[in-house]
Structure 1
Amino acid sequence: MDERTRADVERAEAAIVEHYPRLVRLAYLVLPPSMGRHRRVLTAHALVQRALPRARLRRPDGGLPAQRGPAAEAGYDLVRLRTLRLALAYEGRAGRGLPVLPQVWGLRLFPRAGGAEELALDQALSAVPASVRATLGLWHLEGLDEDAARTVLEEAGAPAPDLAQQAAGQLDREAGAGAVGLLNSGEFDPCTVQTRPTDLLRRRQRLRAAAALGAVLVLGATAAGLWWGAGDRPVRPRTVAEQALDPARLVRTPNDRWADTAKVDFTAWPARGRQAGDRELLGRALRVWAAPPADARITAAAGTSTRPPDHPPQLLYAGLIDNVMVVVFHDGERLVRYAEPEDATPTLHFARVDGADLTGGAALVIGRGNGWMRYLLAPWISEITTRDLLAPGALPHGLHVAPDGVTDRIATPPAPGGGCGRWPVARFRPSTRVVENAAHGDDATFLLADLDDLVPVHLLYVPPPSAGGTPANGGPHEATGAPALRSWARTACELGALRGTGVRSVTDWAFAEQDLPGGAGRATWMCTRADTWRGPGSVTLRFLAPAARPADPGRIAGRAADTAACSRFGPHAVGEIHWRAGTGKWYLLAAGSQDVGGLTATGGVRASGDGSTLAAPAAPGAPATVTGRLRSGVSVRAFGP
């Protein structure tokens, strides 16, 4: 630590006392956001208090004491420089312990939350180096110009001050004219803080665990003394379960494995995130997974096990997402996301991903909030855009992706009961290193939709028979072309019923087209099939008459659960519905897929005909049973409601 004359130290002390909130705010801004707000607050206060230099024991001139004069600003410059040096030194080592002072036991401290603009600026600051944050602090908190700020940065030991100022200028332009006010807001004020208790149950459990550990150590020491006399004995090897909880044994895939493997799925993801080397955090996440505390929140997609790890899992991510520490593991069958908010209990989210491929392993939901979410992208995704399924003619919007693969916030579909005015989805383009023709056109792109699970849902499309479409003929197409988008605009709102059910993919199959009586136009019969990660699927049959609005949902004609219908294992479909023409006359309409050669209606309506469509006059709601005849002679019953 630098030593100064006693007069220098007294001026520095006066500067710290007078400008303490100003210095702490600067230190808080420069410290790595990955530390979490509680530790940043404590560390910022500690660094400013440690910025006071030591006094020399002897006077520098060997005689008269240093003269006291109006040098308060020089004292401030000194403590500001020392504060910056200490804060910059924390870059890349946010997981280390706090300074000795101050310490707060049993409480969590964090500045008051700001609005959307403050949060957006905080997220932007978390993605740049400390030298860039220091530059913005010197400009907007200290009022220095570029030359003066560069001098301070050089003296503080910041790397590449010119590059830091360029990056700060770019971020400043993106933040707009309000950056000064935002940095001076309560969001970045570590002297005006809120307090919350730590996890009380977990604290009690830790005290009990510490007492138990002390007892074990005493017994262990006693046993060691007894064994000492008995000679050396072999050390008991750790069990498989113990090894699974060791952060040092986590599987870490090399960064470029995804470009040189025939298995392009979650096993090819490298470990990413600023806390990927934080063993304390990783160990804590593994322990909560193995033995969740009583107050932990646990969410699992349908059919997904929440069992503890039985072998060392693969690490996919560890870092700070919207002020929440997040860790994601992959155990070969499941994804497990551990979330550790600063002022709340931990959460675990489980999802099955066995059998994932290039599209099923393209992204996972790394963070979620009120009306928004973020994806963590696979390393083979070269571009992501967003669009509204209910607006098929609108152009997609570009989306920024951080270097670690985390996207900007994406709007989520309306909550249940909130209507269906929009349905955001994301379009993904893979790298040419895994898909050769991915650079241009829509053929290689694909759509994923968030349905409140950890893994988004793949949207697919099978065109009508007039375009050569059938589930058994080459499989479904990607839902990125104009016909697919027009189809999905009419069926998107049906996705809301699939939230949280562990769905892997949803396919729209236009299995029939039918000319309506009285020249009312041409209708489409749609079978929407949802396949889950665990295997079973469900279908919804929909009748889509010509409509004035692109997003008109049509009418539901039938449903079925746990069925192979409308898949390559059940490539035949028949639907029926009562329909009222513009003249007021009612009809029973029926249609079958391409291999249906005839239809018969019995019950309250009796009619039959060759071909794959049928229109017969019928009383409204008259009960009818419709059966299709395949050209092979096999009968197929129409779906019921």
Structure 2
Amino acid sequence: MPIHQPQQRPASAAPSEPLGVPQAEAALVEHYPRLVRLAYVVLPPSLGRHRRVLAAHGAVQRALPGARTSPDRVRVPAQSRRSPEARSATLSSAEPAQAPASAPYAWMRLRVLRTALAYERRPRWWPGRLPAPAALRPTLPVVWGLRLFPRAGGVDELALDRALSAVPGTVRAAFALQLLDGLPEADVRALLAEAGAGDPAGAVRRAARLGGPDRVAARESLRSGEFDPCTVQTRPSDLLRRRHRVRAVALAAALCAVAGALAVAADEGVRNEGPEAGSTVPALDPAGLLRTAAERWADTSRVDFTAWPVRGDRRDDAELLGRALRAWSGPPGKVRVTTTPGTVAAPPAQPPRLLFAGEVDGAAVVLFHDGGVRVVRYAEPLSGGGGGAALDFARTDDADVTTGAAVVVSRTGEKARFLLAPWIAETTTRDLLAPNTPGTPLGVGPDGVTAPVERPAAGGACDAWPVLQLRSSERIVENHAFLVTDLGDLAPAHLTYTPKPGRGAPARQPREATGPEALLAWARTACSLRALSGSGVRAVNNWAFAEQRLPEGEASADWLCTRADTWRGPGRVLVQFLQPAASPTAPAAVVADRDDTALCSRFGQHVLAGTHWRAASGRWYVLAAGSRAVDRIEATGQARGAASGPTLAVRAPRDASVQLTGTLREGGTLAAVR
């Protein structure tokens, strides 16, 4: 017989008490930072960080009842009568006290929650920048000319933000109410239901899987500056767009003016704000560029692009640097501009860091690093016949030893040159489709620029997949080699591997893909990287989540989850089936493809997949496999069967429609990824 916990009486079920406007105002003032943080977490990430900050403050400020509201007509739930033990049941005993449970605070929290959830329920066709009906109408605060965003957190905070971005607002609300306000699940369900959320119980269940098993650590991440819209940083808005709008307004004013002299003066004033005046702006002054000392990288704990010294034989060429900065401030029509997804092309708010300025493959190239967020590459031909200049932007926030190890400095035809980080001590090239062939040493110039390297073919036959194998200096890390590959962006993608379960200690984190087992897995899956070209990929991991003995006494097959993480956060997953093959480079079969998912990451550690497979006898089967936490798989539909453990094989027609469900060892079910 199942055991049920005693039913707790949620706060919303308690007798209501009258509330005056002064009481509500006092609760808002006292708990304003807590309410704004709650609203910021619940609001949809699609708004962008700037609009989420303003919307969070607006949602809390609008929660105050109107001054004409009669106190006798405003009634809120009374305080919960649950015991202190019941109040802290959802978190560890080391956790501090939960949020105040006063009636005014509870009522204000409910109003804030309703407003924040309303943003996600607006119609798909509603214009993103126009006022929405009712609760979505624009209100104070309003900020012009600046972009606001919370301070960036660490790796854990960034991972939590990615996981929250992949779930609905009701799940984010349940997660925040449990960790920020310490509410038990019963109270969270009741509060979400009162706020008009659909399926509160489902939201609470999904929230329980966020943040990993360490709820205290997840709570601390949620309380960090990454999710604090009351402590913000500022950047300018799109200066180029603002200048265009100013010009449009000036033109309209000129058409309405009676005197032509006023129109000419207004036009002259606008023209004086063009890119040519950029030299008066400190951020666009070549003399103000940041330059890192040559040995800084060996004496800092922040080993990323901020530790790169300036290199190149034209690093003191003020004219070249000035042209690059002026093109960045307002690219003329002849400059070709490219950006990776999620990267803004706005001018810098502060002087950028100069990484490189020199001549490479017939072009003058300048590389900047802007405030820990972007790498910018400017290139102009040395001769007039080489075409126009180019300006490329790529996100590189939170780069590290591996993802900040190289930048593409030149691409010509089917080859590319890289500028390497100063901590790279050894450089070789190898072919992922030749796993048993050792790497070939690659020449590197005194300024850190490599010899030309073959690029992976974008189309046609996939006969080779060149990669760089780099080794870090022992001055920062001992015997650390890793692989990176060119996927069409400025920063190459870092390749890793997570080995099969059941061989020694369980592998919880990806490791470098330089061992024999990792290279064999990548030899079967390298060609699938073509689908990721130009999408701003930061790292790709091959996770061998299951090994399955095939029916009819045949050999074993492997199941891989190939996850690509982008610099902007969302990831893409390919589930691949590696059946026995005569060639070590025979391509794996892709059985599932998902975009914008947390699957196969730290916040999506459970996976189940299936495929149709034909045995040597000609009979067809449905095969399924799950990760190490799956202890039972059941097939329903046109083929039925069940098996204990993480694998299943069921006889089925070739095109049979089958639904797969996995049961997790710690409870709960899991559907197969499609």
Normalised TM-score (structure 1) = 0.61
Question: Is this contact kept in 1: 2:278–2:285, CA < 8 A?
Answer: no
The 2-side partners of 1:292 and 1:469 are apart by 54
- 1:489 paired with 2:523, answer yes
Cα deviations across residues 277-319 of structure 1 (Å, max 9, x unaligned)?
A: 0000000000001110112111111111111111110000000
Q: Which residue of 2 aligns with 1:462?
A: 498
**TM-fit CA distance, 1:554:** 2.1
The 1-side partners of 2:306 and 2:492 are apart by 17
- 1:340 paired with 2:374, answer no
The 1-side partners of 2:567 and 2:504 are apart by 28
Give secondary structure in 1 for the equivalent of 2:327: helix
The percentage of aligned residue pairs carrying the same residue is 53
The 2-side partners of 1:368 and 1:362 are apart by 18
Give secondary structure in 1 for the equivalent of 2:281: helix
The 2-side partners of 1:533 and 1:605 are apart by 42
Larger CA Rg, structure 1 vs 2: 1
Q: Which residue of 2 aligns with 1:277?
A: 316
- 1:400 paired with 2:443, answer yes
- 1:255 paired with 2:294, answer yes
Cα pair distance change 1:489/1:241, threshold 3 Å: farther
Q: Which residue of 1 aligns with 2:414?
A: 371
Q: Which residue of 2 aligns with 1:362?
A: 405
Q: Which residue of 2 aligns with 1:433?
A: 475
Question: Is this contact kept in 1: 2:635–2:658, CA < 8 A?
Answer: yes
Q: Which residue of 2 aligns with 1:616?
A: 650
The 1-side partners of 2:311 and 2:552 are apart by 62
- 1:302 paired with 2:358, answer no
Normalised TM-score (structure 2) = 0.58
Q: Which residue of 1 aligns with 2:107?
A: none
- 1:510 paired with 2:544, answer yes
How many residues end up aligned between the 2 structures? 398
Cα deviations across residues 415-444 of structure 1 (Å, max 9, x unaligned)?
A: 22x220000001000111111x22xxxxx1
Q: Which residue of 2 aligns with 1:420?
A: 462
Question: Is this contact kept in 2: 1:249–1:312, CA < 8 A?
Answer: yes
Cα deviations across residues 125-181 of structure 1 (Å, max 9, x unaligned)?
A: xxxxxxxxxxxxxxxxxxxxxxxxxxxxxxxxxxxxxxxxxxxxxxxxxxxxxxxxx
Cα deviations across residues 39-86 of structure 1 (Å, max 9, x unaligned)?
A: xxxxxxxxxxxxxxxxxxxxxxxxxxxxxxxxxxxxxxxxxxxxxxxx
The 2-side partners of 1:255 and 1:241 are apart by 29
Cα pair distance change 1:481/1:489, threshold 3 Å: same
**TM-fit CA distance, 1:466:** 2.7
Give secondary structure in 1 for the equivalent of 2:552: helix
One-letter amino acid matched to 1:268: A
Question: Is this contact kept in 2: 1:565–1:571, CA < 8 A?
Answer: yes
The 2-side partners of 1:607 and 1:474 are apart by 31
The 2-side partners of 1:607 and 1:587 are apart by 11
The 1-side partners of 2:576 and 2:458 are apart by 23
Q: Which residue of 1 aligns with 2:117?
A: none
Which of 266, 281, 305 is the matching residue for 1:266? 305
Question: Is this contact kept in 2: 1:389–1:485, CA < 8 A?
Answer: yes
Structure 1, 565-574 or 521-530: larger mean CA deviation: 565-574
**TM-fit CA distance, 1:636:** 0.9
One-letter amino acid matched to 1:333: V
Cα pair distance change 1:391/1:324, threshold 3 Å: same
**TM-fit CA distance, 1:594:** 0.6
**TM-fit CA distance, 1:469:** 7.3
**TM-fit CA distance, 1:239:** 9.4
Question: Is this contact kept in 2: 1:600–1:628, CA < 8 A?
Answer: yes
**TM-fit CA distance, 1:555:** 1.0
Written as runs of structure 1 = structure 2, the 5 A alignment for 1:182-331 is: 242-331=281-370
Question: Is this contact kept in 1: 2:579–2:588, CA < 8 A?
Answer: yes
One-letter amino acid matched to 1:631: R
Q: Which runs of 4+ in 1 moved over 6 A?
A: 238-241
Cα deviations across residues 486-521 of structure 1 (Å, max 9, x unaligned)?
A: 000000000010000000000000000000011220
Q: Which residue of 1 aligns with 2:25?
A: none
Q: Which residue of 2 aligns with 1:532?
A: 566
Which stretches in structure 1 are left out of the alignment for 5+ residues? 1-214, 221-237, 439-443
Q: Which residue of 1 aligns with 2:624?
A: 590
Q: Which residue of 2 aligns with 1:449?
A: 485
The 2-side partners of 1:469 and 1:576 are apart by 26
**TM-fit CA distance, 1:571:** 0.8
The 1-side partners of 2:541 and 2:567 are apart by 14
One-letter amino acid matched to 1:463: P
Cα deviations across residues 101-133 of structure 1 (Å, max 9, x unaligned)?
A: xxxxxxxxxxxxxxxxxxxxxxxxxxxxxxxxx
Question: Is this contact kept in 2: 1:490–1:550, CA < 8 A?
Answer: yes
Give secondary structure in 1 for the equivalent of 2:306: helix
